[in-house]
Structure 1
Amino acid sequence: MSARIDHTVTSGTFSLDGATFDVDNNVWVVGDDHECAVIDAPHDVAAIRELVGGREVRAVLCTHAHDDHVRAAPALAEQVGAPVLLHPQDRVLWDLTHPDREPDGELADGQVFHIAGTELRVLHTPGHAPGAVCLHSPDLATVFTGDTLFAGGPGATGRSHSDYDVIVASIRERLLPLPAETEVRPGHGESTTIGAVRREFDEWIARG
Structure 2
Amino acid sequence: MIHNIARDVEAFTSNAFLVSPGERGDHGADGRTVLVDAGANFDAVSHLDGDIDHLDAVVLTHTHPDHVGNVDSLRGRFGVETWGFDASHEAVDHAIADGDVVRIGTDEYRALHTPGHAVDHLCLYAPDSGVLFAGDLVFAGGGFGRTDLPGSDRATLVESIERVVETVGSDVQVLHTGHGPSVVDDPSGALELALQAARTR
Which ranges in structure 2 are unaligned for 5 or more consecutive residues? none
Hey, what does 2:179 align to over in structure 1? 188
Inter-CA distance 44–199: structure 2 relative to 1 (3 Å threshold): closer
SS of the equivalent of 1:135 reads: strand
Alignment of 1:16-35 (within 5 A): 23-32=12-21, 33-34=26-27, 35=32
* Among 114, 128, 132, the residue aligned to 1:143: 132
Contact 1:25 1:188 in 2 (8 A): yes
Inter-CA distance 39–48: structure 2 relative to 1 (3 Å threshold): farther
Hey, what does 1:19 align to over in structure 2? none
Please report how far the alpha carbon of residue 40 of structure 1 lies from its aligned counterpart in structure 2 after TM superposition. 0.7
Tell me if 1:165 matches 2:143: no
TM-score, length basis structure 2? 0.81
Structure 1 runs of 4+ off > 6 angstroms?
none
Alignment of 1:31-42 (within 5 A): 31-32=20-21, 33-34=26-27, 35-42=32-39
Which ranges in structure 1 are unaligned for 5 or more consecutive residues? 13-22, 95-100
CA distance in 1, matches of 2:20, 2:169: 22
What is the root-mean-square deviation in Å for CA atoms of aligned residues?
2.3
Inter-CA distance 199–147: structure 2 relative to 1 (3 Å threshold): closer
Please report how far the alpha carbon of residue 202 of structure 1 lies from its aligned counterpart in structure 2 after TM superposition. 5.8
Alignment of 1:52-201 (within 5 A): 53-88=51-86, 91=88, 94=89, 101=90, 103-151=92-140, 152-182=142-172, 183-192=174-183, 193-201=186-194
SS of the equivalent of 1:149 reads: coil
Please tell me the residue identity of whatever aligns with 2:176. Answer: R
TM-score, length basis structure 1? 0.79
Q: Which moved more, 1:194-203 or 1:127-136?
A: 194-203
CA distance in 1, matches of 2:150, 2:106: 38
Please report how far the alpha carbon of residue 24 of structure 1 lies from its aligned counterpart in structure 2 after TM superposition. 4.3
Contact 2:40 2:69 in 1 (8 A): yes
CA distance in 1, matches of 2:131, 2:191: 15
Please report how far the alpha carbon of residue 25 of structure 1 lies from its aligned counterpart in structure 2 after TM superposition. 2.4
CA distance in 1, matches of 2:5, 2:120: 24
SS of the equivalent of 1:129 reads: coil
Q: Which moved more, 1:31-40 or 1:123-132?
A: 31-40
The alignment of Structure 1 onto Structure 2 pairs a total of residues equal to 186
CA distance in 2, matches of 1:150, 1:117: 25
